[in-house]
Amino acid sequence: MKYRVGQMGRVIVARFEDREDILENIAAIAKKENIHSAVFNLIGGIKKGSLVVGPEEETLPPKPVWRDIQESTEVVGVGTIFWQENEPKIHFHGSFGKKDTVRVGCLRGASETFLVLEVIIFEIQGIDAKRELDQATGLTLLKL
């Protein structure tokens, strides 16, 4: 185990409108506000996106199982912001559901807000962390 201790910095509340890209907008806020370490909560609606819902098998590197969101869906989840080189890298896991169908997964790539989405970003100060490509897993992992 590796860990660092920091303290709470700024708190940012954002509202994304219909059709706005979720991960792209969170990264844009991180860039504009120069946020290098943060955790965020997200709640609202999504109507388009791709999720990784687990690996096919427990092998390295993992082969992801993908599922697409193609209609209005509720979403709630938590994510982190840490930079990879000169860009913020967003890592978000959420629960996505409509009617009796619920999925849990990692949102990746382009997405679209459905109606409205609320995001609250909690900046962490005093943490020197970043994301780096891990050769064994093929994933961009947190490095402390």
> Helices (DSSP H) in the chain: which residue ranges?
22-33
Q: Is residue 74 a part of any domain in this protein?
A: yes
User: Rounded CA gap, 131 and 102, in Å?
Assistant: 29
Model pTM?
0.95
Q: Could you read off the pLDDT of 83-129 as tens digits, one per residue? A: 999 999 999 999 999 999 999 999 999 999 999 999 999 999 999 99
Q: Is residue 107 a part of any domain in this protein?
A: yes
Q: Is residue 1 a part of any domain in this protein?
A: no
**On the CB side of 49, how many CA atoms lie within 13 Å of its CA?**
33
Domain CATH code at residue 102: 3.30.1330.80
Q: Is residue 2 a part of any domain in this protein?
A: no
Q: Is residue 91 a part of any domain in this protein?
A: yes
